[in-house]
Amino acid sequence: MSCPEVTAEITRMCEQREKIFARLASLGYQRLAFGNISDAVSLLFSERPTAEQLRDMDLFMVSEIKKPKDGMLEIKFFDRLKALEKLGTEKESATGVSDLFDAIGRGAKAVSENEQP
């Protein structure tokens, strides 16, 4: 049997979690759109970076690193324009995470309504 208070708390927690994930996604897009690429450029010119140097580098903006047969390092970055577009439209569209939490909330509400006498 479901208690209305428990259902309300689950719904509240789902809404809170949705807001947190939306904020994290927004912060990620902000980093991609406005982040600094200097560490990635430094990596291009490093002959043999140490593990410690690599750990200290901010490579969040890097989508891919390759070392083709010619031995040169190839670095691809995430698209800043797409990140900016996502930031501009994030208020208008729901994320997959949002849809998941909406479904959980609706399910909890339905269970609660079905169990009430």
Q: What is the CA radius of gyration of the chain?
A: 22
| pLDDT score at 56 | 92
Contacts 24+ apart (CB under 8 A), 81-84: 83/29, 83/30, 83/32, 83/33, 84/29, 84/33
Tell me the per-residue pLDDT of 12-64, one tens digit each, with 9 for 90 and over.
999 999 989 988 988 999 999 888 999 999 988 888 888 999 999 999 999 99
Question: Which amino acid, one-letter code, is at 13?
Answer: M
Tell me the per-residue pLDDT of 54-99, one tens digit each, with 9 for 90 and over.
999 999 999 998 888 887 888 999 999 988 888 888 755 555 556 6
Question: Which amino acid, one-letter code, is at 61?
Answer: M
pTM of the model: 0.62
Contact yes or no for 105/7 (Cβ under 8 A): no
CA count, 13 A, side-chain hemisphere, 43: 24
| pLDDT score at 96 | 55
